Structure 1
Amino acid sequence: MKRLNTLMIFLAIVTLIPLSAFSQEVMTTGGRRMPYVWIDKDTHHEIRRLTRREGNSRSFYFHNNPFIMGENGKGDRMVFYGQDKFGWQIFTVNLSTFEIVKLTEDPFPKSGEIVGRKSHDIYFQERDSIFSVNADTRKITLIYVLPHGSFASITCLNSDETLLGGISTPMVEGFPFGHRSFRRPNFEQIFQIERKRPHTIFTINLKTHELTNVYTHTAWLNHLQFSPTDPSLMLFCHEGIWQDVNRIWTINIDTKKARLMYKRTMPMEIAGHEWFSPDGQTVWFDLQQPRGVTFYVGGMNVKTNKLTKYRLTRNEWSVHYTISPDEKLFAGDGGDTNSVAHAKDGKWIYLFTPEGNHLKAERLVNMKYDNYHLEPNVHFSPDGKWIIFRANFEGFESVYEVKVEKS
Structure 2
Amino acid sequence: MKKTLSFLLLSGLLHLGGRAQAQQRLATGAQKPMAAAEWIDESTGHRIVRLSGLSGENESFYFHNNPFLKKNGRDGDKMVYYHKSPEGKQLYVVSLKTRQSQPLTRAFASVSGEIVAPKRREVFYQTGDSVYATHVDTKKTRLVFVFPADFKATITTLNADETLLGGVWATDEEKEISKKYPAKSDYFNRIYEAKLPRTLFTVNVQDGTINKLFTDKAWLNHVQFSPTDPKLLMFCHEGPWHKVDRIWTIDIQSKDVKLVHKRTMDMEIVGHEFFSPDGKTIWYDQQLPRGETFFVSGTDLKNGYERKCQLERNEWSVHYTVSPSQLLFAGDGGNETAVAKAPDGKWIYLLRPQGVKFTSEKLVNMKQHDYALEPNVHFSPDEKWVIFRANFEGKSQIYAVEIAKSNL
Normalising by structure 2, what TM-score? 0.92
Q: Distance in 2 between matches of 1:73 and 1:379?
A: 24
State which of 18, 21, 26 in structure 2 corresponds to 1:20: 18
* Aligned residue pair count: 390
CA-CA distance at 1:105 after TM superposition: 1.5
Q: Distance in 2 between matches of 1:150 and 1:19?
A: 53
**Partner amino acid for 1:290?**
P
Deviation track 1:153-187 (CA, whole Å, cap 9, x = no partner) reads: 00000111000001002323992354685732432
Q: Distance in 2 between matches of 1:369 and 1:174?
A: 35
Q: Would the aligned equivalents of 1:261 and 1:300 in 2 still touch at CA under 8 Å?
A: yes
Q: Would the aligned equivalents of 2:177 and 2:190 in 1 still touch at CA under 8 Å?
A: no
Instruction: Please give the secondary structure, in 2, of the residue aligned with 1:89.
Output: strand
CA-CA distance at 1:285 after TM superposition: 0.2
Q: Distance in 1 between matches of 2:297 and 2:174?
A: 41
Of 307-316 and 99-108, deviating more is: 99-108
- Which residue of structure 1 aligns with residue 7 of structure 2? none
Q: Distance in 1 between matches of 2:180 and 2:301?
A: 33
- Which residue of structure 2 aligns with residue 305 of structure 1? 304
Q: Distance in 1 between matches of 2:181 and 2:262?
A: 26
CA-CA distance at 1:134 after TM superposition: 1.1
CA-CA distance at 1:68 after TM superposition: 1.0
Instruction: Please give the secondary structure, in 2, of the residue aligned with 1:191.
Output: helix
- Which residue of structure 2 aligns with residue 283 of structure 1? 282
**Partner amino acid for 2:260?**
M
Query: Quick check: 1:254 aligned with 2:253?
Result: yes
Instruction: Please give the secondary structure, in 1, of the residue aligned with 2:157.
Output: strand
Deviation track 1:324-382 (CA, whole Å, cap 9, x = no partner) reads: 00000000000001110010000000000000100000000000000111110000000
CA-CA distance at 1:209 after TM superposition: 1.6
- Which residue of structure 1 aligns with residue 43 of structure 2? 42
Q: Would the aligned equivalents of 1:150 and 1:171 in 2 still touch at CA under 8 Å?
A: no
CA-CA distance at 1:74 after TM superposition: 5.9
Instruction: Please give the secondary structure, in 1, of the residue aligned with 2:192.
Output: helix
**Partner amino acid for 1:156?**
T
Q: Distance in 1 between matches of 2:155 and 2:242?
A: 27
Deviation track 1:218-276 (CA, whole Å, cap 9, x = no partner) reads: 11000000000000001110000000000000111010111000000000000000000
Q: Would the aligned equivalents of 1:49 and 1:400 in 2 still touch at CA under 8 Å?
A: yes
Q: Would the aligned equivalents of 1:52 and 1:98 in 2 still touch at CA under 8 Å?
A: no
Instruction: Please give the secondary structure, in 1, of the residue aligned with 2:20.
Output: helix
- Which residue of structure 2 aligns with residue 363 of structure 1? 362
Q: Distance in 1 between matches of 2:345 and 2:384?
A: 23
CA 1:179–1:280 in 2, change beyond 3 Å: closer, same or farther?
Answer: farther
CA 1:181–1:236 in 2, change beyond 3 Å: closer, same or farther?
Answer: farther
Q: Would the aligned equivalents of 1:87 and 1:108 in 2 still touch at CA under 8 Å?
A: yes
CA-CA distance at 1:292 after TM superposition: 0.2
Q: Distance in 2 between matches of 1:344 and 1:202?
A: 42
- Which residue of structure 2 aligns with residue 3 of structure 1? none
CA-CA distance at 1:206 after TM superposition: 1.6
CA-CA distance at 1:151 after TM superposition: 3.9
- Which residue of structure 2 aligns with residue 273 of structure 1? 272
Deviation track 1:262-314 (CA, whole Å, cap 9, x = no partner) reads: 00000000000000000000000000000000000000001110000000000
- Structure 2: 5+ residue runs without aligned partners? 5-15
Query: Quick check: 1:75 aligned with 2:76?
Result: yes
Instruction: Please give the secondary structure, in 1, of the residue aligned with 2:315.
Output: coil
Deviation track 1:3-40 (CA, whole Å, cap 9, x = no partner) reads: xxxxxxxxxx9xx9x94322211100003211111000
Q: Would the aligned equivalents of 1:149 and 1:171 in 2 still touch at CA under 8 Å?
A: no
Q: Would the aligned equivalents of 2:174 and 2:191 in 1 still touch at CA under 8 Å?
A: no
Q: Distance in 2 between matches of 1:375 and 1:237?
A: 20
- Which residue of structure 1 aligns with residue 346 of structure 2? 347
- Which residue of structure 1 aligns with residue 89 of structure 2? 88
Percent identity, please: 48
Q: Distance in 2 between matches of 1:74 and 1:262?
A: 42
**Partner amino acid for 1:87?**
G
- Which residue of structure 1 aligns with residue 402 of structure 2? 403
Q: Distance in 2 between matches of 1:370 and 1:189?
A: 30
Q: Would the aligned equivalents of 1:86 and 1:107 in 2 still touch at CA under 8 Å?
A: no
Q: Distance in 2 between matches of 1:241 and 1:41?
A: 38
Q: Which has the larger radius of gyration?
A: 1
Of 99-108 and 252-261, deviating more is: 99-108
Query: Quick check: 1:33 aligned with 2:48?
Result: no
